[in-house]
Amino acid sequence: MNQLEHTVTTIGSATIAAVPDLAVITLAVECRHTGAQGAFDAAATAAARVLAAIGETAPGALLTTRGVGLRAETAWRDEQTVVTGYVSDSTLLVSGLPIDAASAVLHAAVAAGGDDVRIQSLEYELADEHEARNGAREDAFADARAKAGQLAQLAGRTLGAAVVIEEIGENTVSPLRAAGRDMKLASMPVMAGEKQVGAGVSVRWELI
């Protein structure tokens, strides 16, 4: 008799809501000038001001320059393409930032960069996602066991030990929830929300 005839396989899944404790901010500075060197120098100066302001506001944050660009702006005039000016930009990443400091960092960046600064994104992370992931994995395994127990009972059998366990996927999504921390930048509300940390397992169980 095939040994698989004495087993049952179930899939369990679970998610755990965790409140993020770190913020990740992506900023950019963008400057225009009639000459390439002028645009580049202006962007460099603006980026330095923004980085300095963030460093003073959140000394423990990790600051990274993600990219530097310089391009010509053109227009179609008199049936030909002419250069009308130059644009230089720099993308800055602020990570490892406590959520409570995010509002102050945004304010400092805008104050230092003025019209040259752009806020591209504000995201949230868990400093330690492993704890939430482990909890979700435990709940997923319990879900698989509960399903297997019911099937064993329906078949008139007793559920035995798990003989094969396979992790089939994990995910982290960040829906906006009212339970998140609320901060304000001037009149701009910013909410951290929650992260939904998920796990799934496929388990083959022995039937006795």
Which residues, other chains included, contact 37 with Cβ-Cβ below 8 Å and sequence gap of 6+?
none
Residues 201, 133: Cα–Cα separation, whole Å: 12
Amino acid letter, 131: E
- Could you tell me the pTM of the whole model? 0.71
CA angle 88, 90, 96 (to 5 degrees): 170
Q: Could you report the per-residue pLDDT of 175-196, keeping only the tens digit for each? A: 444 334 444 445 456 677 788 8
Residues 71, 163: Cα–Cα separation, whole Å: 61
**CA atoms within a 13 Å half-sphere pointing along the CA-CB vector of 13:** 8
Spell out the domain ranges in the chain: 3-20+128-207, 22-125
Residues 51, 100: Cα–Cα separation, whole Å: 19
Q: Could you report the per-residue pLDDT of 8-38, keeping only the tens digit for each? A: 999 999 999 998 989 999 999 999 999 999 9
pLDDT band at 70 (very low <50, low <70, confident <90, very high): very high
Pick the CATH number of 3-20+128-207 from 3.40.50.1820, 1.10.730.10, 3.40.50.920, 3.30.110.170: 3.30.110.170
Fold of 22-125: Alpha-Beta Plaits (3.30.70)
The answer to whether the 3-20+128-207 and 22-125 domains have the same CATH topology is no
